[in-house]
Amino acid sequence: MIKKLLAFPLILFFFIVSIFFYLLIIERNPSDLPSALIDKKNT
């Protein structure tokens, strides 16, 4: 059980890196993401 728990950071790490990698290779415009702060700045 403890051994399995030790693998948890590694699994989580792979999950996060995979998402980052996917978002880097697809066509997307990051400025499409709504940003509360940028909206605030523009008002």
Partner 1 sequence: MIATLGNFSIWLSLLFAFTQFVSSLQKNNKKIIKFNTIAAIGLLLFSMLSFLCLIYSYIVSDFSVSNVFQNSHTTKPLIYKISAVWGNHEGSMLLWILVLAIFNFFIFKLYNKINFSFVTNSLKIQAFVTLGFLFFTLLTSNPFEKIFPVPENGLGFNPILQDPALAIHPPLLYIGYVGFSAAFSFSVAILLGKDKKLENNILLFDCMRPFVLAAWTFLTIGIAFGSIWAYYELGWGGWWFWDPVENASFMPWLLGTALVHSLIAVKKKKILQKWVLLLAILSFLLSVIGTFLVRSGILTSVHAFALDPSRGIYILAFIAIIGTYSLTLFFLNSKKFSDKKYVTFLSREGSILINNIIMIIVCASVFLGTVYPLIIESFTGNKISVGEPYYNSIVVPIMIPALIVMGVGPLLSWNDINFTKLLKNSFPNFIFVFINTTFFVWIFGSFNIFGLIGIILFSWILSNIIFTLISNYSLIKSLKALNKNKIPKITNSMLIAHVGVALLILGVTASSVWQKEKIIRMKTGESIKINNYQVVFKELNEIKGENYFALQGKFLVYDKKKLLITELNPENRIYPITNNSTTEAAIHTNLKRDLYIVLGDGNSDKGRVIRIYYNPLVIWIWIGALLIFMGGLISMKNNYNPSKNSI
The residue ranges that bind partner 1 (CB under 8 A) are 2-3, 6-7, 9-10, 13-14, 16-17, 19-25, 28, 30-38, 40-41
Q: How far is the CB of 17 from partner 1 (least distance, A)?
A: 5
Greatest Cα pair distance in the chain: 53
CA–CA distances in Å: residue 38 to residues 25, 29, 32, 33: 25, 15, 11, 10
